[in-house]
Amino acid sequence: MRVADNLSSQPGLLKRLLRPLIGDVQWQAPGWLRGLANAAGFLALALASWVRTDVRRAAMVGGMGLALIAGGVAGKVWYDRLPKPLEVTIEVVTPDPTPVEQPDAKPEPLLIKFSESAATLAGAGKDVTAGISVEPRIDGTWRWTDDRTLTLTPKTDWPVGTEVVVTLAKKGLFAEQVRLKDYRVKFTTAPFVAKIAEVQFYQDPADPASKKIVATVNFTHPVDTADFEKRIVLREEGKDGVILGLGAADKKFKVTYDRFKANAYIHSEPMPIPPHPVKIAVTIEAGARSSRGGNGITVPVKQSVTVPGLYSLALQGMSLTLAENERLEPDRILMVAMSADTHEKEIAGKVRA
């Protein structure tokens, strides 16, 4: 076929414009396309011949085809309108440590919250006696507090720093339309934590020669006292050895506790004043643990305090003020601020008006 020849029916201007651009083009269909066209034509002729010779059967086949198409559409509509399984997500709220210093405190419950209504109509607001397993075993009461919240209240306090796996039954525990992505819930109970609340260099006002370091350590759970005392180190910062008569190896300190073993008070032995100020670090080494078992602390806990030197005492300021005496008369008072605790007798003899 010549494209240029077909342009003869077009206005002369269009022909003159296109012919220089595309020239003479010829196209012939490939063999497979001609064969496909011939086969389609043959089938069409055969179908038409069959319909003419057996109109009744052709009508039946056509009707069946239409019925199948209509049935498929109707089935799709019916399926789309069926109630679908409700895929529900889970949020786990782990319990905080039970306050050790409150004897009447009860352990917080575990909360498993569902994104949609999950409980059966009969189960909402009631205790659950079947369909839940816990590893390791924790005795307590499971309850649907509402249709979206499942709780476990243990009989005794939670284990310390323990991974717990809760397995929920697929049948009987939830409403029929509820589906969970995972029927196993994992959580870890509160770990044992030690925190140095305060470290100070203490001088007894009644005995100026009594100078020591005092540290207060708080725990989330009752501490294993014997293990804890093995992990205490009092050492000058930057030194590898034990100095000033202090250290864990020779036990140059003593430790006292409150009755709940939730707080420890570390007192160094009386220590000499160094010539110059130094920093002493109080360190609780990794591994300290609760008397209830479970994990130990994984990293050391450390805090430092500066011990003033023998020649580091300095006057920081003085001011005059007025105060009433026992006769309600105003007296002038000199206020003296020192860089470290100083007994009033040591200052009184050094002040001149």
Map tokens 């284990």 to a residue: 159
Give the C-alpha distances (Å, rounded to integers) separating 177 from 98, 170, 174, 180, 251: 37, 11, 8, 10, 65
Residue 165 confidence class, pLDDT cut points 50, 70, 90: very high
What is the band of 250 on the pLDDT scale with cuts at 50, 70, 90? Answer: very low
- Please give the pLDDT value at position 22: 66
So what's the pLDDT on residue 196?
97
Nearest to 230 by CA among 209, 213, 247: 247
DSSP letter (8 states) at residue 352:
-
C-alpha–C-alpha distance, residues 134 and 57, integer Å: 67
Residue 218 neighbours by CB distance under 10 Å: 16
Asked if the model's pLDDT at residue 106 lies above 80, the reply is: yes
- Give helix 31-53 / helix 55-81 axis angle, nearest 10°: 110
User: d(Cα 199, Cα 197) in Å, to the nearest integer?
Assistant: 7
Looking at residue 108, what is its pLDDT? 96
Higher pLDDT, 198 or 342: 198
Helices then strands, each counted (H, E), the chain: 6, 21
This model's pTM is above 0.75? no
Give which of 301, 293, 220, 296 is closest to 266, Cα–Cα. 301
- Whether residue 118 contacts residue 88, with contact meaning beta carbons closer than 8 Å, is answered with yes
Distances (CA, A) of 194 to 100, 139, 214, 252, 298: 13, 28, 16, 21, 10
Q: Is the pLDDT of residue 149 over 90?
A: yes
* DSSP symbol at 66: H
Tell me the three state secondary structure of residue 304.
Answer: strand
pLDDT-based confidence at residue 248 (cuts at 50, 70, 90): very low
Q: In the chain, where does DSSP find H-type helix?
A: 3-6, 12-22, 31-53, 55-81, 225-230, 344-348
| pLDDT tens-digit readout, 297-335 | 999 999 999 888 777 777 778 888 888 888 878 888 888
Rounded to whole angstroms, the Cα distance separating 341 from 319 reads 18
pLDDT at 5 over 50: no
Please give the mean pLDDT across all residues of the chain. 83
